[in-house]
């Protein structure tokens, strides 16, 4: 079974229609836990992008040789291997960012989005399609994390990427750890609202 | 009246006689020692001591049993009026989990004694900490995908909570054995992630296969949640934490129980709210998941109140 979407559609699908964070509501742990700054979101987004693309390709290559009964453990072990690679690379070359992320890099293994894409997409489609789907999902995750980080950093610290933009701190509340829940909820509601407005305008 | 007083005195004398051997065995001068507030050690003496002896910070020397080279500076000593209780105050909070060794000079021969918490209390402390203070869902923000996915109904919440706790404990125990007896001796620590998640998914697959054959009724009730267990970050976070902190077997079991129980508690609380929320008049854009996030934020805020809780 091959997908009828073009490569570009596969990528934009991951960023917009099936955005992992705001649409599929998967991989929420990092979205709440460490989305306090744009930089954090970007770093974790890169890590997830790599893991998603590499594991998607690996599974797409070997999909015919995996017994359906043990496919979930196989997927998990594939992801774990790539996460170990990323984990060691980051620890070696970017120790500061790695320390900030803490346990979340290792926990990419358990992010539902990656396993779900392997199950729904890479386990059935060709290697090329899986590659572009992985890119789309990874970028979508990165976009979501950075959007959350942008809002939280701007409202909490008055900065973007560490540069002082506002000159004052509007709502310190948003930088506090638990505010992640509120921020995700509010932004999801906001996007739903925009979409509803857009649909209504289209129909009229 | 007089006889009552007499009997009382006799009884008191008898009790003292009983106590004397115990005190002599304990090393006579020090009769009790415990941790006070987080930067205090409280010492009780069997006889009143002069402030010049027991009230001088310079007379005490304290260190953790594991690091005899690092002396912890005693900031000040408060001696009670009867001279029997001295409270050692330290500049920084003590790590009360570790055993501390206190030597006291000045009162004739130097006295050395150990201060430690009861081990059972420490184990229960781990359990309560994982359950409430450091609840994995509300204060560490882990396991959220499954948390939001399965907290719509109370029945689902219970099923998921129970399944998760069982798999959690089983896989944590296996991870502990693998870590202590294979990964550490052979210096294979870089394989942690692969081994731990592999054990989890094998446990899930094994439980799935066994349950399907042995007890189909139970499988119908809990089978659907088994696959979801793998997608829960907590199941991987616990082995990583216990490897980082070098927990022993009992501590591992307690942490796993606390993590599973805490997840079940969070699910149950959340599902109770969400069942009612379906009847509430929520703005359309916020219906479903967005409002659930805001409720979870309020729970997280409430769970902050548990920080600093110290029962044992």
Contact A73 B201 (CB under 8 A): yes
Instruction: Tell whether B113 and B157 lie within a shared domain.
Output: no
Instruction: Tell whether B160 and B223 lie within a shared domain.
Output: yes
Residues of A in contact with B198 (CB under 8 A): 73, 76-77, 80
DSSP label at B153?
S
Per-residue pLDDT of chain B (312 residues), as tens digits, is 556 666 666 656 655 555 544 444 445 677 777 777 777 788 887 777 777 777 777 778 787 777 777 777 787 888 887 777 888 888 777 777 677 788 777 666 677 777 777 778 788 888 888 888 888 888 888 888 888 888 888 888 888 888 889 889 999 999 999 999 998 888 888 888 888 888 888 888 888 888 888 888 878 877 777 777 877 888 888 998 888 888 889 989 999 999 999 999 999 999 999 999 888 888 888 888 889 999 999 999 898 888 777 665
Question: What residue of B is the nearest CA neighbor of A108?
Answer: B233
The residue among B236, B274, B305, B306 with the most chain A CBs within 10 A of its CB, best to mutate, is B236
Phi-psi region of B27 (alpha: psi -120 to 50; beta: other; left: phi over 0): left
Question: Domain ends where: B94, B117, B140?
Answer: B117
Count CB atoms within 10 A of the CB of residue B239: 27
Question: What residue of B is the nearest CA neighbor of A115?
Answer: B231
Q: How far apart are CA B107 and CA B119, in angstroms?
A: 31
3-class state of residue B62 by DSSP: strand
Handedness of CA B20, B21, B26, B32 (dihedral sign): negative
Domain contains B105: yes
Instruction: Tell whether B205 and B98 lie within a shared domain.
Output: no
pLDDT tens column, A78-89:
999 999 998 889
pLDDT at position B252: 92
**Residue B291 at interface with chain A, using a CB cutoff of 8 Å:** yes
The residue among B137, B140, B141, B295 with the most chain A CBs within 10 A of its CB, best to mutate, is B141
pLDDT at position B312: 58
Instruction: Tell whether B109 and B37 lie within a shared domain.
Output: yes
Contact B290 A109 (CB under 8 A): no
For residue B203, the distance in angstroms to the closest alpha carbon of chain A comes to 10
Instruction: Tell whether B61 and B124 lie within a shared domain.
Output: no
Instruction: Tell whether B53 and B98 lie within a shared domain.
Output: yes
Residues of B in contact with A103 (CB under 8 A): 237, 240-241
Q: How far apart are CA B61 and CA A65, in angstroms?
A: 67
Instruction: Tell whether B280 and B247 lie within a shared domain.
Output: yes
Give B 250-289 residues with CB within 8 A of chain A. Answer: 283-286, 289
Q: Which residues pair with A105 in a beta bridge?
A: none
Question: Domain ends where: B97, B117, B137?
Answer: B117
CATH number at residue B95: 2.60.40.1220
Question: Domain ends where: B117, B143, B175?
Answer: B117
Instruction: Tell whether B180 and B165 lie within a shared domain.
Output: yes
**Residue B297 at interface with chain A, using a CB cutoff of 8 Å:** yes
Question: What residue of B is the nearest CA neighbor of A173?
Answer: B301
Contact A182 B236 (CB under 8 A): no
Instruction: Tell whether B256 and B161 lie within a shared domain.
Output: yes
Q: How far apart are CA B289 and CA B295, in angstroms?
A: 10
**Residue A66 at interface with chain B, using a CB cutoff of 8 Å:** no
For residue A161, what are its two tokens? 């990427």
Give A 31-50 residues with CB within 8 A of chain B. Answer: 31-33
pLDDT tens column, A23-75:
777 777 788 888 878 888 888 888 899 999 999 999 988 888 888 877 878 88
Give B 119-148 residues with CB within 8 A of chain A. Answer: 138-146, 148
Instruction: Tell whether B233 and B278 lie within a shared domain.
Output: yes
Task: State the DSSP H helix or E strand holding residue B161, giving kind and residue range, or none if neither.
Answer: helix B154-178
DSSP-assigned letters across all residues of chain A: ----S-HHHHHHIIIIIT-TTTTS---HHHHHHSTTSHHHHHHHHHHHHHHHHHHHHHHHHHGGGS-GGGHHHHHHHHHHHHHHHHHHHHHHH-HHHHHHHGGGTGGGGG-HHHHHHIIIIITTS-HHHHHHHHHHHHHHHHHHHHHHHHHHHHHHHSEETTEESSSS-S-GGGGSTTHHHHHHHHHHHHHHHHHHHHHHHHH-
CA dihedral B216, B218, B219, B224 (to 10 degrees): 150
Contact A88 B194 (CB under 8 A): no
Instruction: Tell whether B48 and B137 lie within a shared domain.
Output: no
CA dihedral B11, B17, B21, B23 (to 10 degrees): 70
**Residue A102 at interface with chain B, using a CB cutoff of 8 Å:** no
DSSP label at B73?
P
Q: Which residues pair with B88 in a beta bridge?
A: B41, B77
For residue B99, the distance in angstroms to the closest alpha carbon of chain A comes to 29
pLDDT tens column, A100-148:
777 788 888 888 788 888 888 888 888 888 888 889 888 988 988 888 8
Whose structure tokens read 């970050």? B233
pLDDT at position A53: 92
Domain contains B9: no
Contact A189 B201 (CB under 8 A): no
Q: Quote the number of domains for chain B.
A: 2
Contact A185 B201 (CB under 8 A): no
DSSP label at B141?
-
pLDDT at position B262: 93
pLDDT tens column, A4-36:
677 788 888 777 777 877 877 777 778 888 887
φ/ψ (deg, to 5) at A23: -105, -55
Contact A192 B285 (CB under 8 A): yes
Nearest by CB to B190, from A26, A88, A182: name it: A88
Q: How far apart are CA B93 and CA B38, in angstroms?
A: 5
For residue A32, the distance in angstroms to the closest alpha carbon of chain B comes to 6
Domain boundaries, chain A: 7-203
Residues of B in contact with A83 (CB under 8 A): 193
Domain contains B264: yes
Q: Which residue range is the domain that position B163 belongs to?
A: 120-306
φ/ψ (deg, to 5) at B79: -100, 130
| Furthest CA-CA distance within chain B | 84
3-class state of residue B151 by DSSP: coil
Residues of A in contact with B139 (CB under 8 A): 177-178
Nearest-10 crossing angle of helices B289-303, A179-203? 170
For chains A and B, count residue pairs whose Cβ atoms are closer than 8 Å: 134
Length of chain A: 204
Contact A81 B194 (CB under 8 A): yes
pLDDT at position B16: 54
pLDDT at position B21: 44
Domain contains B186: yes
Whose structure tokens read 């399609």? A129
């Amino acid at each position: 079974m091959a997908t009828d979407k073009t490569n570009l559609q596969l990528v934009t699908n991951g960023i917009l229609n099936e955005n992992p964070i705001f649409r599929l509501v998967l991989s929420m742990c990092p979205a709440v836990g460490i989305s306090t700054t744009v930089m954090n979101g970007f770093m974790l987004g890169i890590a997830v992008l790599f893991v998603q693309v590499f594991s998607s390709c690996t599974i797409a290559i070997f999909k015919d040789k995996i017994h359906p009964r043990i496919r979930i453990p196989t997927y998990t072990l594939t992801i774990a291997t790539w996460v170990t690679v990323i984990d060691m690379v980051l620890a070696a070359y970017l120790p500061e960012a790695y320390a900030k992320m803490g346990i979340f890099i290792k926990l990419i293994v358990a992010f539902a989005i990656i396993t779900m894409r392997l199950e729904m997409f890479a386990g059935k489609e060709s290697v090329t399609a899986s590659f572009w789907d992985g890119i789309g999902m990874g970028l979508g995750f990165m976009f979501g994390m950075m959007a959350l980080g942008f809002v939280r950093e701007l409202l909490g610290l008055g900065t973007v990427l560490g540069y002082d933009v506002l000159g004052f701190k509007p709502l310190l509340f948003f930088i506090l750890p638990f505010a992640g829940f509120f921020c995700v909820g509010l932004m999801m509601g906001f996007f739903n609202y925009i979409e509803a407005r857009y649909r209504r305008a289209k129909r009229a | 009246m007089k006889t009552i007083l007499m009997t009382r005195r006799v009884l008191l004398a008898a009790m003292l006689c009983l106590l004397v051997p115990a005190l002599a065995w304990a090393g006579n001068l020090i009769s009790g020692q415990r941790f006070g507030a987080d930067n205090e050690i409280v010492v009780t003496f069997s006889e009143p001591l002069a402030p010049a002896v027991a009230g001088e910070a310079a007379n005490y020397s304290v260190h953790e049993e594991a690091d005899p080279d690092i002396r912890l500076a005693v900031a000040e000593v408060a001696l009670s009026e009867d001279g029997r209780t001295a409270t050692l105050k330290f500049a920084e909070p003590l790590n009360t989990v570790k055993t501390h060794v206190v030597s006291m000079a000045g009162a004739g021969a130097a006295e050395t004694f150990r201060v430690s918490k009861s081990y059972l209390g420490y184990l229960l402390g781990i359990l309560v900490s994982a359950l409430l203070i450091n609840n994995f869902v509300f204060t560490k923000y882990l396991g959220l995908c499954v948390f939001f996915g399965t907290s719509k109904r109370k029945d689902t919440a219970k099923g998921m909570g129970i399944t998760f706790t069982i798999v959690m404990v089983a896989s944590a125990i296996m991870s502990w054995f693998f870590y202590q007896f294979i990964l550490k001796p052979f210096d294979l620590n870089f394989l942690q992630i692969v081994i731990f998640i592999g054990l989890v998914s094998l446990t899930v697959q094994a439980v799935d296969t066994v349950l399907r054959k042995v007890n189909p009724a139970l499988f119908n009730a809990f089978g659907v949640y088994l696959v979801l267990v793998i997608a829960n970050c907590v199941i991987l976070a616990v082995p990583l934490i216990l490897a980082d902190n070098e927990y022993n077997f009992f501590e591992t079991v307690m942490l796993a129980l606390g993590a599973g129980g805490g997840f079940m508690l969070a699910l149950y609380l959340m599902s109770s709210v969400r069942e009612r929320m379906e009847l509430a008049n929520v703005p359309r854009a916020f219906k479903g998941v967005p409002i659930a996030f805001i409720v979870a934020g309020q729970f997280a805020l409430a769970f902050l109140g548990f920080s600093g809780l110290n029962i044992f």
